[in-house]
Amino acid sequence: MRYILSGLAAAVTLAACMNAEMPDASEGRAAYDANCAMCHGASGTGDGPLAGDLSVKPVNLTTLTRDNGGAFPVNRVLSYIDGYKRKAAEDVEMPEFGLLLEGPSVPIETGEGVFTPTPRPLAALLAYMESIQK
Ligand code: HEC
């Protein structure tokens, strides 16, 4: 019995550590402001200072959840940012963000019960983007 209990305590401690390491929205805000706000706007609605100069309008990032049936589209956003899923014009307009892809990874849920190791700066950015959904 004691072994079971100590195993349980270890599992709880591990879960607590993982949570402590998960970046929250405030950590991602700086990355958003530095890398995304110039096009997508300070509040994410697509009205950044560069938006007018682009041939393709930056997407309103605050309605991603609403447009996806109420669930934040983690995989779609991830693949946009790391450049996998772009249309021809998108390659021109949206730069890739190598720096966001560096650093230690944290597990983020990318499907029901599926966790994908994700570079911490990118996980923080995702948390921020999720926090600005309307
Ligand atoms: C140079 C301007 C520019 C910058 C900087 C930029 N974007 Fe974009 N983004 C666009 C444009 C234009 C589109 C719409 C066309 C397209 O899909 O590429 C877009 C589309 C997107 C989409 C697709 C939304 C959908 O429909 O699924 C996401 C997600 C996104 N951007 C996130 C980001 C994030 C996060 C950052 C910062 C790390 C960022 N963008 C920085 C111009 C930019």
> Using a 6 Å cutoff on CB, does residue 41 contact ligand 1?
no
Percent of the chain with pLDDT over 70: 72
Q: pLDDT band at 100, cuts 50/70/90?
A: confident
> Using a 6 Å cutoff on CB, does residue 59 contact ligand 1?
yes
Supply the pLDDT for residue 53: 87
Supply the pLDDT for residue 125: 92
Q: pLDDT band at 29, cuts 50/70/90?
A: very high
Q: Where is pLDDT greater, at 20 or 45?
A: 45
Please state the atom number of ligand 1 nearest to the C-alpha of residue 89: 18
Question: Measured in angstroms, how far is the CA atom of residue 46 from the centroid of ligand 1?
Answer: 9
Question: Measured in angstroms, how far is the CA atom of residue 81 from the centroid of ligand 1?
Answer: 8
CB-based contact 65:72 (threshold 8 Å): yes
Average per-residue pLDDT in the chain? 80
The stretch 23-47 carries a mean pLDDT of 93
Q: pLDDT band at 49, cuts 50/70/90?
A: very high
Q: What is the pLDDT of residues 57-98, one digit of tens each?
A: 889 999 999 999 999 999 888 878 766 555 545 545 566 676
Instruction: List Cα–Cα distances, 104 to 39, 127, 132, in angstroms.
Output: 27, 16, 25
CB-based contact 50:35 (threshold 8 Å): no
- pLDDT at residue 13 greater than cutoff 50: no
Instruction: List Cα–Cα distances, 14 to 9, 20, 21, in angstroms.
Output: 9, 10, 11
Supply the pLDDT for residue 17: 47
